[in-house]
Amino acid sequence: MEIRFEYNIATEYRRILFVAEHIKSCFYQEFSFAVLPYPVTGNPRCIYFPDLHYEEIKDFWKVLPLKKINIHTKLNLSLPPIIEERLKERIMPYLNEKKVISTLEGKWDPIKKEYLQFLTNLFDTKDIEIIIRPTIFGTCSSYFPIVKNGKRMIYVYYRIDTDISHLAEVIISSFLYLNMIQQRKHIVSSWKKREITTDMLMKNSKIGQLFKNYTPTSHIWEKPLENNKLWQDHRQYIKKLGFPLNVKVTITNTLLQINSIKIPLTQFTEDQKRILSLLVKHKGNIVEFEDVGEAIWKEDVCEKFSLWSIAKKIERIRRTLREYNVHFEIIETHRKSGYKLKYSC
């Protein structure tokens, strides 16, 4: 197993493009990541995408390819040279190679020996090359495994302001994905399933003692970001970039449909169905607690009304939505007033 570091203007340029592609495809919006023009350390849900005035780079978003950049990092991207030139000009002031590499080495060296032994015990690491690209942008980490002409390579991005556990996690995820490619099996096939598997290894194996500060990736979709300012900044920035997530919701006697996701109403209790019907009817507007209570308890509302009970029913609805891969927060809680079904995120 060979490991090397790689950092320059080209790697950061590709990092920006990778993040931009996921914004354009609404991946981050759907999985409830917060895309921000400033870094937020210690929160894996927050993505740093600096405001490089992309609107001033002619056709930047128009020519950006969808679902191509994330195949691997050595694609010959067909972006016009003028766009590459303008973007690199804007990235250049952020670069500080000496600081970035020294920060990575300072975090990597103390855990390297024990961690690599763990990888060797768990995976086939023979004749594999791992290229670590430190970065100051994007998510905590990303990975690009490649099998080409019998050669196995793993490119990983690691944001240097985050805990070193995120680098350890992304390498494990990439090995899982690489094994899936080689065996041509549909195991741990989705991003979400791979991350859950990786979380189990990071938290429940011996390696967990080495990375006690690790925050499971699954927390991104299991726990909402409880910082209203960050969410507000995210919404404003995504809107400025031109890619808010439009949410289309319909409900029938048998089916709840959110964009392309179809959920049988049999997955909800009668009380939950009433709540959903009310929220869909008034989509985009706040439905007051009293109205939710009347929908649930009808003529017994005065006797049975309970804010705690309503909150529990809403949480169970959200849990079911997450099980069907509705990861963005579609139901907003408005303190002291009620709930709102969003039409955009």
Query: Tell me: the pLDDT tens digits for 172-209?
Result: 988 888 876 666 554 445 667 777 888 888 888 888 88
Does residue 253 share a domain with residue 216?
A: no
Residue 239 resides in a domain: no
Contacts of 230 (CB under 8 A, 6+ apart): 34, 36, 40, 43, 46
- The confidence score (pLDDT) of residue 312 equals 95
Does residue 197 share a domain with residue 304?
A: no
- Lowest-pLDDT choice from 65-69, 84-88, 314-318, 337-341: 65-69
Does residue 284 share a domain with residue 195?
A: no
Residue 233 resides in a domain: no
- DSSP letter for 38, please: S
Does residue 271 share a domain with residue 204?
A: no
Does residue 200 share a domain with residue 121?
A: yes
User: Is pLDDT at 71 greater than 70 in this prediction?
Assistant: no
Between residues 146 and 142, the one the model is more confident about: 142
- The confidence score (pLDDT) of residue 97 equals 95
Return phi, psi of residue 294, to 5°. Answer: -65, -35
Residue 227 resides in a domain: no
Instruction: Tally DSSP H helices, then E strands, for the chain.
Output: 13, 12
Residue 333 resides in a domain: yes
* pLDDT tens readout for residues 273-313: 999 999 999 998 999 999 999 999 999 999 999 999 999 99
Determine the residue type at 140. C
Does residue 69 share a domain with residue 15?
A: yes
Residue 148 resides in a domain: yes
| 286-288 vs 331-334, strand pairing mode | unpaired
| Residue 287: other Cβ atoms inside 10 A | 20
Does residue 199 share a domain with residue 156?
A: yes
- From 222, 257, 274, the end of a domain falls on 222
- The confidence score (pLDDT) of residue 183 equals 63
Any idea what the CATH number is for the domain that residue 335 is in? 1.10.10.10
Residue 229 resides in a domain: no
End-to-end Cα separation, the chain, in angstroms: 43
Domain range for residue 318? 246-341
CA–CA dist 29, 15 (Å, integer): 18
Q: Does the CA dihedral 166-171-172-178 come out positive or negative? A: positive
Does residue 256 share a domain with residue 214?
A: no
Q: Are the CB atoms for 50 and 20 separated by under 8 Å?
A: no
Does residue 266 share a domain with residue 132?
A: no
Q: What average pLDDT is seen over the chain?
A: 87
* pLDDT tens readout for residues 202-232: 888 888 888 988 888 776 666 666 677 998 8
Residue 274 resides in a domain: yes
- Lowest-pLDDT choice from 155-159, 163-167, 307-311, 332-336: 332-336
Does residue 319 share a domain with residue 188?
A: no
Residue 237 resides in a domain: no
Percent of the chain with pLDDT over 90: 57
| Distance (Å) of CA 255 to CA 249, 252, 267, 276, 297 | 11, 5, 10, 11, 23
Does residue 153 share a domain with residue 31?
A: yes
Number of domains observed in the structure of the chain: 2
Does residue 153 share a domain with residue 261?
A: no
